[in-house]
Amino acid sequence: MLRKFNNSRTIKENIQLGSLTAFSAGMVNVTSVIIFFAFTSNVTGHYAILAEEVSKGNWYQAAVVFAWIFMFFAGNFCSNLIIINFNRINTYAAHAAPLTIEIICLLVVGTYGQFFYKETLNETEILVALMLFAMGIQNGLTASISNFSVKTTHLTGLTTDLGLLTSMFTKKEYRENKSLRARASVLFAIATSYLSGGIFAGIVYQQIGFMVFYIASLVIGIIICYEYYKIKIRKMVWNKKKKSLKYKTPVMSRP
Amino acid sequence: MKKKKYNPKIRLIYFLAFGGCLTLFVLMSALSPAPDTVILGKWQEVSWEYEKLPDAKEASLSKAISNTVKNEITRDLVIHRAETWEFLPGGKLLLHLEEKSTPLHWTLKSRGNILKLDHEKTSPEHYNLQVLNEDEMILYFNTDLQAKGIAKMKFKKIHHKDYAQKIQ
């Protein structure tokens, strides 16, 4: 999921990465709507609200929404900045770092909300900003490493693409196009996971409150650990092969 | 590996762009006070009316809500029959009706456009803070009573200039 970059990625890897990240994004978004009455994984609505608040002359609210949009932008910026600067040194680390930052943000929101949140307006604004930053980081990472084919929080674009693809599949020539079918599978997996994450969070929140963010962090943690485990296994297999070749070589070279 | 250096001109452009965003944010924040400070004080209920009505036939009738309907709408709400709302710092709200007052807890959610009222005995209620300035507050809330749409509550602020002069 995290080791490969751009065009070297398989459909399976894109589905795995897209599904898991979309599941956590759905969880975060629904929880923030329930608690804070603000969306945190999509910014289209925030642009509309910003325009509305500016036109009404509500400058304080406009500033808040502007800051939220900026935080989402900053998340994407940081994520890609890490990737493009460290990708050549260690691809896995460059891809895991943004997810680690995302986990830290979600853990901060979860812990603060569970133990310190007094429901003041300032706290709400800052926590929403932090979640938007986390979602920006995640969206930036998935979009960047999948060559812009996976965007886990951008469901407007995803639904548009799904609509286009579905209409294309009415023609046989497109139905038989493997890359189009694969793209549709990725998009469908993301949409389903996002929705499932949202429903799951909506149900679980009633029982565990802010601890939902720990589960969202855990889902992201699974991606990092799974990849690390795969790298270890690969290394082990490679080392074994290397060893067996080492022992075989002298036998082969005997006269 | 040789470390690549960023072009100073590019650095400056990025610095100015991010700085510009920060300045814009600070300026906008400074232009008007936060809603959680504007809301503090006493608010007198002025009128009740429907903002949205479900069909054209009803929309052509008067949008004003009579006292009987108002009492019916708010029967199960914590704001039932309250005439004056007093928002105090620390999230305390007093709903005054004649000489009786009911204490509640208030908080603002989202960007300050959702008013949440908590009462020990009932579940939290949420109102949409549509307009809030030094003189006027308008709250919206959804009501399904008689399949009606959104109810609009208008308040005007009670300024205590005399009181302020007295304590000076």
Please write the tens of the pLDDT for every residue from B67-113.
Answer: 777 777 777 676 766 788 999 999 999 988 877 888 899 999 999 99
pLDDT of residue B166: 47
- A66 contacts in chain B (CB < 8 Å): 21, 24-25, 28
Contact A120 B116 (CB under 8 A): no
Residues B106-140: tens digit of each pLDDT = 999 999 999 999 887 778 888 999 999 999 999 98
| Structural domains of chain A ordered from first start | 6-253 (1.20.1250)
pLDDT of residue A1: 59
More confident residue, B120 or A140: A140
pLDDT of residue B37: 93
Domain contains B153: yes
pLDDT of residue A4: 57
User: Residue A39 is encoded by which pair of tokens?
Assistant: 């969306």
What contacts B81, CB < 8 A, 6 or more positions away?
B71, B74, B97
Closest among A20, A29, A37, A16 to A212, alpha carbons compared: A29
**CA B49, CA B120: separation in Å to the nearest integer?**
28
Q: Say whether residue B66 is in contact with chain A using an 8 A CB cutoff.
A: no
Domain contains B22: no
Instruction: Specify the residue for token string 């969306």.
Output: A39
Domain contains B61: yes
Contact A60 B32 (CB under 8 A): yes
**CA B31, CA A90: separation in Å to the nearest integer?**
47
Band (pLDDT 50/70/90 cuts) for residue A255 is very low
Alpha-carbon B48 to chain mean position? 16
- A70 contacts in chain B (CB < 8 Å): 21, 25
- A65 contacts in chain B (CB < 8 Å): 111
Q: Say whether residue B125 is in contact with chain A using an 8 A CB cutoff.
A: no
Residues A73-106: tens digit of each pLDDT = 999 999 999 999 988 888 888 889 999 999 999 9
Domain contains B2: no
Q: Which structural domain, as residue segments, surrounds residue B86?
A: 35-167
- DSSP-derived pairing of the beta strands B41-52 and B150-158: antiparallel
Domain contains B14: no
Domain count, chain B: 1
Domain contains B63: yes
Domain contains B20: no
Q: Give the CATH number, domain containing residue B72.
A: 2.40.128.280
The three-point CA angle B95-B50-B143 to 5° equals 65
**Any idea how long chain B is?**
168
- Determine the angle formed by the axes of helices A178-208 and A11-36, rounding to 10 degrees: 30
Q: State the SS3 of chain A.
A: CCCCCHHHCCHHHHHHHHHHHHHHHHHHHHHHHHHHCCCCCCCHHHHHHHHHHHHHCCHHHHHHHHHHHHHHHHHHHHHHHHHHHHCCCCHHHHHHHHHHHHHHHHHHHHHHHHHCCCCCHHHHHHHHHHHHHHHHHHHHHHHHHCCCCCCCCCHHHHHHHHHHHHHHCCCHHHHCCHHHHHHHHHHHHHHHHHHHHHHHHHHHHHHHHHHHHHHHHHHHHHHHHHHHHHHHHHHHHHHHHHHHHHHHHHHHHCC
**CA A84, CA A91: separation in Å to the nearest integer?**
10
